[in-house]
Structure 1
Amino acid sequence: MTLVDARSAVRAGPFRTVANAITVIRTLAAVTVGVAALLAGSVPLLVVAYGIYWLGDMLDGLAARRLHQETRAGAVLDIVSDRACTAVLCVSLVARMPEVAAVALVFLPSFMVLDTMLSLAFLCWPLVSPNYFHRVDRRVWALNWSPAAKAVNTAGVIGAVAFGQFRLALAVALAVLAVKLWSAVAVARLLDRDGRA
């Protein structure tokens, strides 16, 4: 189910699902290991924390789809949990590798503010999650929530950093920021178009 009817559009749940349990567990685990990595100054622990975050993020989405447990509450929980993980892991990364501070200064506001607002915009339409935003606008969806966009938005930046390509990481972060700014303007127009502003 991708769309919700008018009555269920205001319902969030159910909240007790396998997918949401995975989200909570992966968030607690990634944040805990991320804080441990920060305190120990440990790159291996940071790698483990990122692994927990990304694997858990894939698993909770897979569980939600396979078990037919996609809910608006689950989508919001996933979005908020991604921000908690990213904030802790990015701070840990910058503490261990100060040379990535410029990348973080571009990436964090883009992900924590612009991407959060964009990701929560699905709540303005009768959609279950941003994964179905293509029903509102295919271009905005393709640039933000398609599988390729999700990979580039975070993994592209972190992957470039992991390979010591800091200029490339900064270039990717700036490109993502430009896409988020364009998308924010596009979503504002869509809200006006559909009388949801």
Structure 2
Amino acid sequence: MDGTPHGWVDGTEGGIANVPNLITTIRTVVAVCLGVPAIVTGSAALTGAAIACYWIGDMLDGLVARRMRQETRFGAVYDIVCDRVCSVVAAAALVPLLPSMALPLGIFVVQFVLVDLLLSLAFLRWPVLSPNYFYLIHKQVFRFNWSPLAKAVNTGGLVILVVIAPSPIYPVVFALAVTTVKIASLVAVARIPPARIPPAGAPGAEVSGVRAATS
């Protein structure tokens, strides 16, 4: 990909057998192996361990991919799919422990598995490596969905509220707010025209068909 600004791809793709994908596989298998017994036994310890494995592994695979320069579009999609598997198992494990929080957890599952899945896979419409580079396409959509703060709040925020909130009202409002942002982002993304890979040295967020979308 010589001459192509970082974050854009030129049609070539590395292999799928790499360290980040291995980490994604391991953290998914371990999270599920901890989460399923947690659902059956109602174990808070196993539930916490499953969520921790998912979150730590999710941060680690992305970090390793960037540091080792092994980012691929396949890896991005694989990570997105595995995130949904881990999240559904984690949500299912939390319901027996916190039955009053079934509604916000249900809203989260629908939002994350349906709306956010479509939004996250939308990066495939453009020649970018992953949603982590969506700022090259639309800065505001990136800021509210895939910036480090947005990713932490959109997923971890609900879990924290579910655990500490005295009433399901607060996590329900939060889950609906996140869903609204995701739907609005999906609508915005659907309106963005396709774009070509910018020439080397060009500011990626201001090229071709995405100039108006990022302003």
| Equivalence for 1:170 | 172
- Structure 2 unaligned regions, length at least 5: 1-5, 196-208, 211-215
* Matched residue, 2:67: 66
Aligned to 1:25: 26
Alpha-carbon distance, 1:105 to partner: 2.4
More helix by share: 1
Give the match for residue 179 of structure 1: 181
Whether 2:41 is the aligned partner of 1:40: answer yes
Aligned Cα root-mean-square deviation (Å): 1.5
- Quote the offset at 1:94 in angstroms: 1.1
Partner letter of residue 9 of structure 2? Answer: V
Task: Choose 65-74 or 164-173, whichever is displaced more.
Answer: 164-173
Q: CA deviation at 1:3?
A: 0.6
* 2:147 paired with 1:133: no
Alignment of 1:39-188 (within 5 A): 39-165=40-166, 166-188=168-190
Q: Give CA deviations for 1:126-167 in whole Å, capped at 9, x if unaligned.
A: 000000000000000001100011011110000111213432
The size of the alignment, in residue pairs, is 191
Separation in structure 2 between the aligned mates of residue 191 and residue 109 of structure 1, nearest angstrom: 27
Percent pairwise identity = 47
Query: Which amino acid is the alignment partner of residue 176 of structure 1?
Result: V
How far residue 102 of structure 1 moved from its aligned partner, in angstroms, is 1.0
Q: CA deviation at 1:45?
A: 0.8
Question: Residue 3 of structure 1 aligns with which residue?
Answer: 8
The aligned amino acid for 2:68 is L
Shift in Å, 1:96: 2.4
Note if contact 2:135-2:142 (Cα within 8 Å) is conserved in structure 1: yes
Report runs of 4+ in structure 1 exceeding 4 Å deviation: 191-195
TM-score, structure 1 as length reference: 0.92
Cα gap change, 1:70 to 1:39, in 2 (>3 Å): same
- The alpha-carbon distance between structure 1 residues 192 and 136, as it changes in their structure 2 partners (threshold 3 A), is closer
CA deviation after TM superposition for structure 1 residue 168, in Å:
2.1
Q: Offset of 1:191 from its aligned partner?
A: 4.2
